[in-house]
Structure 1
Amino acid sequence: MDILAIQADRTVYVDLDGTLIRSDLLWETLFLAARQRPDLMARVPFWTARGKAYLKARLAESVEFDAALLPYRTEVVEALRVERERGRRIVLATGANERLADAVAAHLGLFDAVMASSETVNLTAEAKLARIEAECGDKGFDYYGNSHEDVCLLDKAVEPIVVAPDRAVHRWHGRTGSARIDETPGQLKALAKTMRPHQWAKNVLVFVPTVLMQEYLDPGMLFACVLAFLSFSFAASSVYILNDLLDLDADRRHRTKRHRPFASGRVPIPHGLALGLGLFLSAFAIALLLPPGFGAILAAYMVATTAYSFFLKRMLLIDVLTLAGLYTVRIIAGGSAAGVEISFWLLAFSIFFFLSLALVKRFTELQDFGTGATRSSTGRGYVDADMETLAQAGIASGFASVLVLALYIDSFEVAQQYSEPYLVWPLCPLVLYLIVRIWILARRNEMHEDPVVFIMRDWRSQAMIAAGGLMFLLAAYV
């Protein structure tokens, strides 16, 4: 009997979590349940107390699961297709719950059978090995695995195939030199990307009150603003991570968001949780160095952003009003950190201006989903028929911000604060240019990122901001 015939007589067993997919279905279903059924989260500790198998079963039955959205390892899938073409029997052998495993097997159409965890049996490590050996007898088996729980199976396999190994399997592979499939890129860069450091530009808003009060040469105030900037940046990043974990299925349906580190599986969910917790604690540790009012504002910001991540972002109009409010909170926090009083005019301008940008964000998201977008497909409270309304409301809100700015420039407050207040008037056409240009680009489907980040990156927008800053300086010191 030749080698190919011997191989064909052996069954190939394939692990699911971390091997066939770049994720873990226990974590996936936990965050799916948190988004789809947040009312069940209080039961999770009690389910956990009854064992991992029971927890997996309850989560699996609680969520709407789409196996087609999972981040499959293409090299593993292709290797299994080759094995199937050679006539080999392939079994999906996984610790994931049987309901989920069956869905994956049905989607791929590569497996002859499925071994998976039930409500009472967690089919991992020795339990999985015993099941496989009972089925194979003396024929032996081949096994694809990746984690420390797979070491005992890899040891017993005739032909072990290591896939993106964890530390334990990496050490095992170093001793044995077995076949290896490793398509996981360096995680450090991807982990940093989960923090979205480019979004930290939004937190420059904490400097606005100090700058407008012309206190930017005061080192104490500037240092307080720097601390506030770092605190808000870390806090925002922790919420971005939470938001991405709650939005895994929606991101995977999106044209560009499916490449995000968690959605693509480049960063394991537990790593993201650890990073998010570290950022959260760091944010509040920094807040302790600032006035108590700042800490209270930061806490309110975290509550609001967490509520946004869980449910507010799916509520019609409430989502964009919340986003506008969160930008304004940054300004309020900057004033609190530096001990600067916030002008009513500044708050009014901020609400209208950032509401316009929030509406741009929703408008472009609907564009990306195209005709037929529904609340289910977008994960938001909008459908494609809402695009024109969003555009009209966004443009109107932007113009309202310019009106507020004009009234502020004509106020007694500006006359008192600036020696040449008429030099501030060019701010109105500059802001109009920013708003109208952003909406024109959005209507042309040329706005493919967060509009606030776009402003920070776009040289024309930067030129308008620089010109506005120059106008303020001239008005104050000429």
Structure 2
Amino acid sequence: MQEAARRDSDVDGAKSSELSANRFPIVVDLDDTLIVTDTLYEQIAIGLFTKPLRVVSAFARLARGRAALKAALAHEIDLTHVELPIRQDLVHWLHEQAERGHEIHLCSAASQPIVETVAKRLGIFASAVGSSQANLKGKSKANYLKGRFPEGFVYVGDSSADLAVWKEASAIVLAGTAPSVAKTARGLGKPIEAEFQNPSLSVKNFLKALRVHHWSKNVLIFLPLILGHAWNDIPLIIHTMLAFICLLMVTSATYLLNDIADLDADRRHWSKRNRALASGRMSIPFGFALSGTLLVVAFLSAIIITPVFAAALGSYLVITGSYSLGLKRIPLLDTLIIGVLFTIRLVMGIVLFSQPSPAWLLTFSVFFFFSLAVAKRHTEIVRAAVTGSHSLASRGYRVEDAPLTLTLGVSSAIASLVVLVLFIIGEMLPAHVYNHPQILAGMPLILSIWLGRIWLLAHRGDMNDDPVSFALRDRTSLILGGFAALLFLAAL
């Protein structure tokens, strides 16, 4: 069987060599072929987060045909300055073919301005044709190319709609083609010049897209249960576990939506460009579908647990959505919102049982997490001042804001320590739940050491991640956390 496959490969290689000698023009499709995304979905994604009403009105044009929808979206959403993920191995192959004397042409069902922009960016195309009056797809594209290149052409495509074009082509190039479509294409009896695979979505990429490594932040929902000494209440523990799962689904869904909203910015970033959605490993429709499914399941489950918890979860979603849509670009307000979002996680744990809300805990949380959020921004400002980077522009900060963020962050950290001290003093009075509350006096000392370390690293520009994620990997932070846990247990 392997020998037969080798013979078939040799035959195809011979045909390919003969075809190369004829120097047929090579025609390349754009969506999911030259780029590992679809420009229509790119326009919809950008429009939903920037001009949602106009996107909805553009879909009214769908009754006139797909080309009318694309024209309406192209009028509303400008992709000419958007970074699109290019299939680099295909581009390299096209450069090689151009050096051998082949003319390279771009022909797509995407709108003409987008096609021209991509062609200009790569600089290897003799022509670039997109949809205007008719949708250049399937048979329509096949007829157009057959009339334009009567002596033959090589076609680079990906989808089942391209089968009609491959029937008229002299040779086939498969780029990101599904196995079933590739099998049908091979059955056409045309030589396969080359084949390029889509970047694979590994389990690691998928879990990173869901931000599994950030799930640890959601354990705050258990803190009210622990501080309320309710660890013997089995029904409450079960409800909190179920609520925790709901919160995980919502946070992962919001991360997916945020990645879709930030596609262009992420593709321009040195590391974020490798994220599943930005790199094209995960498609935009799949990202929307997965996010929507997680949200629906999470909120239906939350309502069953308790409507009050569902309301708290809904407030988290609304604030997170507002943050992603624009509030993250407002200096200082962005960090306050992060502090509020951490506090809402505590509120979710509080509403699961009927004890009065511990006002000290919520007050402490806002000050504490606001300080940590500012620490992250302060690190970015310090680094930008050293490197001359312009990465702060998207957040609304300037390098001269460093004294302000340092002052606000440190003062908020001190305010959180004051709240904690007042709580401990109150617990030292009679008739409270701790048998040895005086041991809790060590808590502010440990926390002050940790906050001091965080702000020292932030001011030096050495905070590589947000402080919460950093603490989970930092040995010193883990040791201090262990001491704090021992003090809490000893005070019971």
After TM superposition, the score normalised by the length of structure 1 is 0.92
Partner of 1:131: 144
SS at match of 2:356: coil
Note if 1:262 corresponds to 2:303: no
- C-alpha change, 1:409 and 1:167, in structure 2 (3 Å) is same
Please tell me whether the aligned partners of residues 417 and 444 of structure 2 are also in contact (alpha carbons under 8 angstroms): yes
CA deviation after TM superposition for structure 1 residue 68, in Å: 6.9
The one-character-per-residue Cα deviations of 1:29-71 (angstroms, maximum 9, x if unpaired) are 2222234434534424324444322222232233343557221
> Given the alignment, which residue of 370, 390, 401 partners 1:355?
370
SS at match of 2:463: coil
Please tell me whether the aligned partners of residues 205 and 330 of structure 1 are also in contact (alpha carbons under 8 angstroms): yes
- C-alpha change, 1:172 and 1:419, in structure 2 (3 Å) is same
Please tell me whether the aligned partners of residues 359 and 394 of structure 1 are also in contact (alpha carbons under 8 angstroms): yes
CA deviation after TM superposition for structure 1 residue 259, in Å: 1.4
Partner of 1:419: 435
Please tell me whether the aligned partners of residues 106 and 128 of structure 2 are also in contact (alpha carbons under 8 angstroms): yes
Q: Matches of residues 317-466 of structure 1 in structure 2 within 5 Å?
A: 317-366=332-381, 370-373=387-390, 378-412=393-427, 416-466=432-482
CA deviation after TM superposition for structure 1 residue 444, in Å: 3.0
Please tell me whether the aligned partners of residues 316 and 381 of structure 1 are also in contact (alpha carbons under 8 angstroms): yes
Partner of 1:117: 131
Answer with 1 or 2: which has the greater Rg: 2
Note if 1:224 corresponds to 2:239: yes
CA deviation after TM superposition for structure 1 residue 167, in Å: 4.7
CA deviation after TM superposition for structure 1 residue 106, in Å: 0.7
Quick one: which amino acid aligns to residue 79 of structure 2?
A: F
SS at match of 1:111: coil
Cα distance between partner residues in 1 of 2:381 and 2:111: 35
- C-alpha change, 1:153 and 1:168, in structure 2 (3 Å) is farther
SS at match of 2:135: coil
Q: How many residues align?
A: 470
Question: Cα RMSD over matched residues?
Answer: 2.3
Cα distance between partner residues in 1 of 2:94 and 2:429: 71
- C-alpha change, 1:22 and 1:339, in structure 2 (3 Å) is farther
Partner of 1:88: 102
> Given the alignment, which residue of 178, 199, 206 partners 1:166?
178
Cα distance between partner residues in 2 of 1:323 and 1:450: 11
CA deviation after TM superposition for structure 1 residue 435, in Å: 1.9
Cα distance between partner residues in 2 of 1:351 and 1:62: 40
Please tell me whether the aligned partners of residues 17 and 94 of structure 1 are also in contact (alpha carbons under 8 angstroms): yes
Quick one: which amino acid aligns to residue 432 of structure 1?
A: S
Cα distance between partner residues in 2 of 1:393 and 1:251: 29
Note if 1:248 corresponds to 2:263: yes
Please tell me whether the aligned partners of residues 408 and 414 of structure 1 are also in contact (alpha carbons under 8 angstroms): no
- C-alpha change, 1:189 and 1:54, in structure 2 (3 Å) is farther
Please tell me whether the aligned partners of residues 350 and 401 of structure 1 are also in contact (alpha carbons under 8 angstroms): yes
CA deviation after TM superposition for structure 1 residue 438, in Å: 2.0
Quick one: which amino acid aligns to residue 143 of structure 2?
A: A
The one-character-per-residue Cα deviations of 1:316-347 (angstroms, maximum 9, x if unpaired) are 22221111111101100111123443211000
Quick one: which amino acid aligns to residue 156 of structure 1?
A: E
SS at match of 2:108: strand
After TM superposition, the score normalised by the length of structure 2 is 0.89
Q: Matches of residues 232-243 of structure 1 in structure 2 within 5 Å?
A: 232-243=247-258
Quick one: which amino acid aligns to residue 131 of structure 1?
A: Y
CA deviation after TM superposition for structure 1 residue 208, in Å: 0.5
CA deviation after TM superposition for structure 1 residue 366, in Å: 4.7
Cα distance between partner residues in 2 of 1:122 and 1:340: 63
- C-alpha change, 1:35 and 1:164, in structure 2 (3 Å) is same
Cα distance between partner residues in 2 of 1:261 and 1:312: 24
Quick one: which amino acid aligns to residue 295 of structure 2?
A: F
- C-alpha change, 1:254 and 1:443, in structure 2 (3 Å) is farther
Partner of 2:158: 146
Cα distance between partner residues in 2 of 1:317 and 1:197: 27
Please tell me whether the aligned partners of residues 147 and 168 of structure 1 are also in contact (alpha carbons under 8 angstroms): no
Please tell me whether the aligned partners of residues 434 and 461 of structure 1 are also in contact (alpha carbons under 8 angstroms): yes
- C-alpha change, 1:93 and 1:330, in structure 2 (3 Å) is same
- C-alpha change, 1:266 and 1:413, in structure 2 (3 Å) is farther
> Percent of aligned pairs with the same residue?
34
Cα distance between partner residues in 2 of 1:19 and 1:453: 38
Please tell me whether the aligned partners of residues 97 and 116 of structure 1 are also in contact (alpha carbons under 8 angstroms): yes
The one-character-per-residue Cα deviations of 1:268-305 (angstroms, maximum 9, x if unpaired) are 11111111111111211321331221011111111111
